[in-house]
Structure 1
């Protein structure tokens, strides 16, 4: 890789790790647009460039989430019973999404799908609607079903799942700080099952560049993880001190700009 590409990935890794600790997100939504820029610079095939960016971004969450989990667990913020309830469904949904559905989407539609959900996530960042006080979390079947939905959707987007799990937990009257910390705990099984799915679904393709393991570009993973594992604990520490609602709104504005980039990528790929 060129030095400029390495520098971009190192900075993005630092930002993604910080946001993972601060807001419970995996960082994929931040990383994917910038990795597309880097991979274009590297001359990767346009047929797989978005797939590789999403799969590589998800793989980094394996490491970032562990760093964030450690920081949140140290302060007792994670609801591990809730993590256990979601995880079986998450594993099933993430693996199937990463292996069966992921490769079925062409670059244009995958870019469009990604952009739409960035917009959805940014809107969620602005909304601070209070749930009905009598609403509770569902039982085992409900948690499994929603976990499978979250895992499948996350594997298609390269995201850690917080964009669907955090609003759902808050909607069920889980406190925002616990919901965000718990979403860090959910990020690891989502990333693990999705990564295995990406490799299973794409291993041996002849159009993959050197340094790839399936759709995962290992040099980019190394650059991102090199900084993200150090900034994730900083974000988790700051999350207990700052007004998270205001931070979420700032992050929502940033996501809107990233959505515009991905809409443009979809427009170019689809030739609309």
Structure 2
């Protein structure tokens, strides 16, 4: 089957994935949020709309999201590096611990039931939304980063939990770093590099070690949906500047609050999905 026949036979899925990429790109540019926190829940519900079980949908959404973060994080790193906002010293200290966390987390994804990932994502999304809604930029708790043991735990945890829910790390690392009076602009820039450290080994592990569910959407290899990857990445890159352009004309603080409410509803809905 050639690519034209494949697209024709799976046109509705293809169009839904294209829309996902455009939606994620606009939100990324509009609000400055990481793609994974948007892509995972959208794919989770889109795949189910095409007859994929909730458990399988979550597994494939998680792995596919990580795969899409690889090229987008590279572009983001270059942009932040030009502004001097990537802390390479911190990355050197944390890289090994993040890598260990990612390997353990992504390996677990290939072995556990997708419903557990849905619960975990629901918790992360809910906490992230509450952080956006109620925490101010000045709400640092500690004066400096913790010692070696504390930073080891931070790096390992960021890699572990981010890989398990298909996000690049910014959703967890930025709020965590800013708790320790770490400059917000450097936290965001460094988080882009952390995203690459998480997404590349995480996606490869799920691609190589993961077994495609029997009801996985077309084009799934391991746990990564390559059709989704090819649709989402270029559309995300294309539409992010549009979102940024619109954001320049609107109240960014209000937009972030609106997104936080939507994210809170999404997180709670995913939690409820596993209970009822």
With structure 1 as the length reference, what TM-score do the two structures score?
0.84
What is the number of equivalent residue pairs in this alignment? 266
What corresponds to 2:139 in structure 1? 130
Say if 1:241 and 1:210 are closer, same or farther in 2 by CA, change over 3 A: closer
User: What does residue range 145-184 of structure 1 map to in structure 2 within 5 Å?
Assistant: 145-184=153-192
Say if 1:262 and 1:163 are closer, same or farther in 2 by CA, change over 3 A: same
- Specify which of 34, 46, 61 is matched with residue 53 of structure 1: 61
CA distance in 1, matches of 2:34, 2:76: 10
CA distance in 2, matches of 1:239, 1:182: 23
Q: Where does the alignment leave 5 or more consecutive residues of structure 2 unmatched?
A: 1-6
Displacement, 1:121? 0.6
Displacement, 1:86? 2.2
Displacement, 1:24? 5.9
- The answer to whether the 8 Å contact 1:24/1:183 transfers is no
What corresponds to 1:110 in structure 2? 117
With structure 2 as the length reference, what TM-score do the two structures score?
0.82
Q: Where does the alignment leave 5 or more consecutive residues of structure 1 unmatched?
A: none
Say if 1:15 and 1:201 are closer, same or farther in 2 by CA, change over 3 A: same
Q: In the TM superposition, what whole-angstrom CA distance separates every residue of 1:127-180 from its partner, at most 9, and x where no partner exists?
A: 115225x61123444333211111110111111112221111111111222212
CA distance in 2, matches of 1:57, 1:167: 21
Displacement, 1:203? 4.1
What corresponds to 1:81 in structure 2? 89
Displacement, 1:115? 1.0
CA distance in 1, matches of 2:177, 2:23: 25
User: What is the RMSD of the two structures over their aligned residues, measured on CA atoms?
Assistant: 2.9
What corresponds to 2:229 in structure 1? 221
What corresponds to 1:28 in structure 2? 36
Say if 1:17 and 1:69 are closer, same or farther in 2 by CA, change over 3 A: farther
Say if 1:242 and 1:141 are closer, same or farther in 2 by CA, change over 3 A: farther
Q: Which moved more, 1:79-88 or 1:58-67?
A: 79-88
